[in-house]
Amino acid sequence: MQGAEHYKEAERLMTICNSCRYCEGLCPVFPAMELRNEFADGDLDYLANLCHSCGACYVDCQFSPPHEFEVNVPKTLAEVRADSYRSHAWPTALRPMFDRNGLAIATVAAASIATFILGFALWHDRNALFTKDGQFYRLMPHEAMAGLFGAVFLFAIVALVMGFRSFWQSIGASSVSAGSGTTLWQAIRDACALRYLDGGGIGCYNEDERPTDNRRLFHHFTFYGFMLCFASTSTATVYHYAFGWPAPYGWLSLPKLFGISGGIGLMIGPIGLLHAKLTRDRALMDPAKFGMDTAFLAMMLLAGLTGLLLMVLRETPAMSLMLAIHLGVVFSLFLTMPYGKFVHGIYRFGALMLYAAERKTEQPASVARPTALQAKEAV
Ligand code: SF4
Ligand code: SF4
């Protein structure tokens, strides 16, 4: 099946589920569905991004295959979710990045690493390349590093904001004031606790019909690992510019403590999620997006691993090579953020905000339905 067929199938399933309602206590998808009588593309984007693919509704469903109704909500919503990433991406010219996402991200990563290695080799004398003094800025001046990474980070933020804006309009979130302070706070709490990734309280299905909390645990490691690494870079920037304290920092300094704990989180989380993905029941997954999912996890894992190796090897002749690899990985991670699985966190957060607003008003965000497709096409 392709884009439009995914939406058609999701509409068919939501219509069946809306008559059945057996799964209404499992997750927010079903209560949000019950507020609606019909399902435009924007509604399906919203429901798909509320779904965590926990698998509970597939295991519980009396109409799942081999029943002739062939109800498979997790797989169908995973397909719509992936389509929503592509159809809201900005700028439109870069939407094809989602088509062979694993290959695209691997190519950008390899090219970035090669460019940093080549750059270090061409612009430095042999002594600087094999220095053991741990001074990064002898290989790449701080201003150049901050300028390059600041520019790519800014581009990623603009692209993510534009994509989110299109998604927000598509799901009709402004029609129920989903951007208010209380819904924002509720969505932050739900997202930080991964509140709904538990199959209605019993855990998440993966390789068999015994649910566990493993996927939630490894999502936590990945998310908080990423946030700690971000905190490490941010505190180092404040140290440098506000206090005039340049790197390197001691092992007990805040940038180092954040960086070490974040790097460990970015190794444990993605390894656990990769294992879960490789062993997962294929019936629950969108096989076409296997490359996108694994590329995202591989990039997170590489960012954590190369960051930790750089710390350990900092005062050895391997430092310059490790620095080039780490910078290449982080640069490509930023550059490809708006065109890969990273966006799922942003869109899910938007869907949680709308869900919090709808729960409060018991009103669906239906006003924007006629403009949902227009919003997609306009961007
Ligand atoms: S997934 Fe199956 S059991 Fe659950 S609401 Fe839909 S049709 Fe009913
Ligand atoms: S897979 Fe889980 S999160 Fe998704 S709709 Fe089914 S029960 Fe809800």
Give the CA angle between residues 198, 200, 206 to the nearest 5°: 45
Burial letters 30-41, b for 16+ CB under 10 A, else e: bbbbebbeebbb
Ligand 2 pocket member 104 (CB < 6 A):
no
**Minimum mean pLDDT among 41-50, 177-186, 224-233, 270-279: which range?**
177-186
- Residue 278 makes CB contacts below 8 A (sequence gap 6+) with none
Q: Could you say which ligand is closest to the alpha carbon of residue 14?
A: 1
134-138, 227-231, 314-318: which is most confident = 227-231
Q: What pLDDT does 375 receive?
A: 45
Ligand 2 pocket member 280 (CB < 6 A):
no
Ligand 2 centroid – CA 51 distance (Å): 5
Residue nearest to atom 3 of ligand 1 (CA): 61
Q: What pLDDT does 127 receive?
A: 67
- 139 neighbors 323 (Cβ within 8 angstroms): yes
Ligand 1 centroid – CA 101 distance (Å): 32
Residue nearest to atom 4 of ligand 1 (CA): 23
Q: What pLDDT does 244 receive?
A: 92
pLDDT digits (tens, 9 = 90+) for 272-305: 999 999 999 999 998 888 999 999 999 999 999 9
Which atom of ligand 1 approaches the CA of 60 most closely? Answer: 3
pLDDT digits (tens, 9 = 90+) for 96-125: 999 999 999 999 999 999 999 888 888 776
Ligand 2 pocket member 203 (CB < 6 A):
no
* Confidence grade of residue 2 (pLDDT, cut at 50, 70, 90): low
Ligand 2 pocket member 56 (CB < 6 A):
yes
Ligand 2 centroid – CA 308 distance (Å): 36
Ligand 1 pocket member 73 (CB < 6 A):
yes
Verdict on whether the full-model pTM lies above 0.85: yes
Ligand 2 pocket member 197 (CB < 6 A):
no
pLDDT digits (tens, 9 = 90+) for 119-178: 888 877 666 667 777 777 778 888 899 999 999 999 999 999 999 999 999 999 877 777
Ligand 1 centroid – CA 57 distance (Å): 6
* Confidence grade of residue 367 (pLDDT, cut at 50, 70, 90): very low
Please state, as a whole number, how many other Cβ atoms lie within 10 Å of the Cβ of residue 177. Answer: 13
Q: How far is CA 348 from CA 52, 102, 207, 359, in A?
A: 9, 21, 24, 16
